[in-house]
Structure 1
Amino acid sequence: MGQFELIFAVGALSDETVLRIHQGHDVFTASYGGLTMLTVTTDGDEPMDVARKVVASLEEISGVHVDRCCEDLMSLSDIADRSDVAEDTVREWMVEGAEAGSPFPKPYYLVGGGVWLWSEVNDWLREVGKKSSPVRHLSRLDILQTNLWLAQRSRTT
C-alpha cells in the first residue's frame, strides 16, 4: 500500500461543500475562472481502485460532481521547484539522461516550452537515484482509464 495523489476537476462548490470535503479528505482545493480542482492524497494499492474510491467518497458529499481526472503537468520551472534544484540542473538531466541510457521523459505537450507529466518525471527521478516523491501519481494510462470510467458512468446516470 502507498499514498496516491489524484487531481479532479469538479463542478462549482459552495463554501459549505468545500468545508465538508476538507473534513473527510486530505485535499487541496483551488478554483480558476469557474474551474474547481481538488487535489486529493489518499492511501491505496491500485490506481483505478483508488480513483473509484475517491470519486465515490467525494460524490457522497452533496454538491460534488466529478467531471474528470486531470494530469499533474509541470513546466521546467515547476520540475525544478518540486525537485529542489535549479532549472539548469533539470536541463542537464535532459542531456545527461539521454547520454547515460536513461532518457528524461518526453514532454506531455509542447505548449509554453513544454510541460511534463509529473508521474513520469517522478518515476524517472526514482529510477536514476535522484530525490523523488514517495507519493504515487497517476500515469497517462491511469488518467485515461479513470476518465473513460467517468465518461461511461455519466452516460448511464
Structure 2
Amino acid sequence: MTMSEYEFIFVLSGISLEDDEAVNTLTTELDALLSSQRGMLRMTVTGEGSNAVSAAIATAQKAHELVDDVRFVRLDRDLVGVSDIADRIGRSRQNVDQWVRGQRCPSGPFPEPEAMVGASPVWLWADINAWLRPLGLDDGERRPTREQMNRIDLVLPSVRLVPTHFGGGRTDGGAEVSAFNVEARLVRSASRTRSAAARALHRHLLARAGEATDDEAFLRL
C-alpha cells in the first residue's frame, strides 16, 4: 500500500500555548507547529497514510497518546483571498486576479471560491495549491480535499474513543484492522448521536466496505 504525507491544520482545545509540557511534547514528537490567533489554538502538522483521512486519524490518535488532554475540534480550512495567494507564490495581485477572472488560465479554470467575505471571494488553499501544481508554483505539500475535510471533521471528536490497537498496521485477534475500518468505527460512533448526514456517511462506508473488503474485523466494529 502506497503511503503519502499530508499537511493538516487542526483546531485544538483542552490545552493552551501556556501549557509548556503539552506544547513541547507535540512539537518534539510530531514536529508540529502550534499557534494561537484570537483565542483559537491551531496545530500545523504532517501525517502519513494511504489517504488524507487515514493520515488525519492516525495523527490525531498519536497526539492523544502523547497528550491526553488535547481535543481535536475540526480542521482549519486555511482560506485565502487574492492577496494571500499572491503573497504565498510571489506573484502580483494583478496576475492572480487575471487567473480568477479567466483572462489567463494556464492550468485550466480557476477553482470555485469556498465562500464570500464581504464582497471578496476566498478559496481553500488546498484547492489553489492543487491548481498551481502543474505550473510548478505549489508549495509541495499534499492536503485533504473538501470532501475529505468534511469526513475528517465528522470523526475527529470521536478519535480518542478508539483504542490504539485499531490503528493502521496493528492486529486484533489475528486480523489486520485498517485505517478505513477505524474511520468506519468512528463514523458509527458519531452517527449514534449526530446528524442525519453522519448516519448517511456511515451507511456509505458500510457499502464501500462490502465492495472493498471481506475483512471480518470490520464486521466486528
The residue matched to 1:96 in structure 2 has which SS? coil
Residue 50 (structure 1) aligns with: 55
- By how many angstroms is 1:5 displaced? 0.7
1:114 is the counterpart of 2:116: no
| Alignment equivalent of 1:148, drawn from 147, 154, 178 | 154
Residue 86 (structure 2) aligns with: 80
Cα RMSD of the aligned pairs, angstroms, is 2.3
Structure 1 gaps of 5+ residues are none
Asked which structure has the greater RCO (Cα within 8 Å, sep 6+), the reply is: 1
The residue matched to 1:110 in structure 2 has which SS? strand
Residue 70 (structure 2) aligns with: 64
The answer on whether the counterparts of 2:127 and 2:145 sit within 8 Å (CA) in structure 1 is: yes
Whole-Å Cα distance in 1 between the matches of residues 91 and 107 of structure 2? 22
Whole-Å Cα distance in 1 between the matches of residues 47 and 107 of structure 2? 34
| Alignment equivalent of 1:90, drawn from 85, 92, 96 | 96
The answer on whether the counterparts of 1:97 and 1:104 sit within 8 Å (CA) in structure 2 is: no
Whole-Å Cα distance in 2 between the matches of residues 135 and 2 of structure 1? 10
Whole-Å Cα distance in 1 between the matches of residues 81 and 138 of structure 2? 17
The answer on whether the counterparts of 2:47 and 2:56 sit within 8 Å (CA) in structure 1 is: no
The residue matched to 1:136 in structure 2 has which SS? coil
Deviates more, 1:75-84 or 1:146-155: 146-155
Residue 124 (structure 1) aligns with: 131
- By how many angstroms is 1:4 displaced? 1.1
The count of aligned residue pairs is: 155
Compute the TM-score of the two structures, normalised by the length of structure 1. Answer: 0.87
Structure 2 gaps of 5+ residues are 159-185, 193-221
1:16 is the counterpart of 2:18: no
- By how many angstroms is 1:74 displaced? 1.1
The residue matched to 1:16 in structure 2 has which SS? helix
Percent identical residues = 31
1:138 is the counterpart of 2:144: yes
Q: Which has the larger radius of gyration?
A: 2
The Cα offsets for residues 4-51 of structure 1, whole Å up to 9 and x where unpaired, read as 110111113212211111111121111123320101123333111100
Partner amino acid for 2:37?
Y
Whole-Å Cα distance in 2 between the matches of residues 101 and 57 of structure 1? 37
